[in-house]
Amino acid sequence: MLTLLNLLKDGRFHSGQDLGAALGISRSAVWKQLQHLEADLGLSIHKVRGRGYQLAAPLMLLDSLTISAMAPSWPVTVLDSVDSTNAEALRAIGQGGLAPFLVLAERQVSGRGRRGRKWVSPFAENLYYSLVLRIDGGMRQLEGLSLVVGLAVLQALRNFGVPSAGLKWPNDVLVGSKKIAGILLELVGDPADVCHVVLGIGINVNMQLADEVDQQWTSIRLESGKSSDRNALVVELSEQLSAYIQRHQADGFSVLQAEWEANHLWQDRPVSLIAGSSQVDGVVLGIDSQGALRLKVSGVEKVFSGGELSLRLRDDS
């Protein structure tokens, strides 16, 4: 099917006869493969008598050779379809894969966000990106790492025509109240000694419709008004990650604390911090030198951290 998709990706009309000749199959077999493309990948294909078949919109697929030639020297794997790029990265670690390496996919069938939420992942529209790093030397290199990744994503988005993007503690990138990117970090090994961390990043790039998303969202295309080259975005994001991670490893999170706070959309806002069935109401003061959230609660500053916390604006904000 993907060979057929590569023939159609230019968005032009192709006759069934020409497609069959190129693939070495009958026109009826071409028709069956087209039906599978629509059903399995959710693609829309126009069928016009006398003209042939045309994708509703051209596709630019991810290309590992293009990315490898321009991005930092991380081995790159591009998958057509996977449960999730983080899950694939974790499997590769278990099989002895040598970090750093990068896993990308055209779509995820079980994409995951924080707290077990589904990450909607249509084919060839967005960025599903997992970078694996080996961490030697203990917890200091993990302090505030998800926030560091957020800064890298933010800069990449701004360089791709989304100047109003901002951060939400701990792992979201928003435009106003709409989510445009999310981050999911997963650890394997001993954080006090040697471990691997998977930096999972999902960015809404060219998506314009998504009925399955259960929250407000936007995309680079909706914000900028134009389609983006996802290969170029992978390169830009990788360069930003490389630069920010090097600063973090050399000097710790404290050198990036002020920059992160300056880009936090909810700074000084009344919020509710949710942890399971409990809720803490307060006002965002910022973050500390380790990336934990600082809240003013009943006139007293308190600090919160943890992967299962969720921050929401209060109704009185």
For the question of residue 312 being annotated catalytic, the response is yes
On whether 66 is known to bind a ligand per the annotation, the reply is no
Exactly one of 114, 168, 221, 230 is catalytic; name it: 114
On whether 113 is known to bind a ligand per the annotation, the reply is yes
Picking from 149, 165, 168, 169, the residue whose alpha carbon sits closest to that of residue 157 is 165
Largest CA distance in the chain: 75
Exactly one of 107, 168, 179, 221 is catalytic; name it: 179
On whether 26 is known to bind a ligand per the annotation, the reply is no
On whether 86 is known to bind a ligand per the annotation, the reply is yes
On whether 238 is known to bind a ligand per the annotation, the reply is no
On whether 32 is known to bind a ligand per the annotation, the reply is no
Exactly one of 51, 134, 226, 312 is catalytic; name it: 312
- Look at the alpha carbons of 310, 223, 161, 129 in this order and tell me if their dihedral is positive or negative: positive
Per DSSP, the three-state class of 311 is strand
On whether 230 is known to bind a ligand per the annotation, the reply is no
Report d(CA 83, CA 108) in Å as an integer: 5
Q: What is the 3-state secondary structure (H, E, C) of 288-309?
A: CCCCCEEEEECCEEEEECCCCC
Residue 286 backbone dihedrals phi, psi, to 5 degrees: 145, -150
Q: Are 287 and 261 in contact (CB under 8 A)?
A: yes
On whether 159 is known to bind a ligand per the annotation, the reply is no
For the question of residue 114 being annotated catalytic, the response is yes
Cite the active site residues: 114, 179, 312
Task: Point out the annotated binding site for biotin.
Answer: 84-86, 108, 112-114, 179
Residue positions in the annotated binding site? 84-86, 108, 112-114, 179
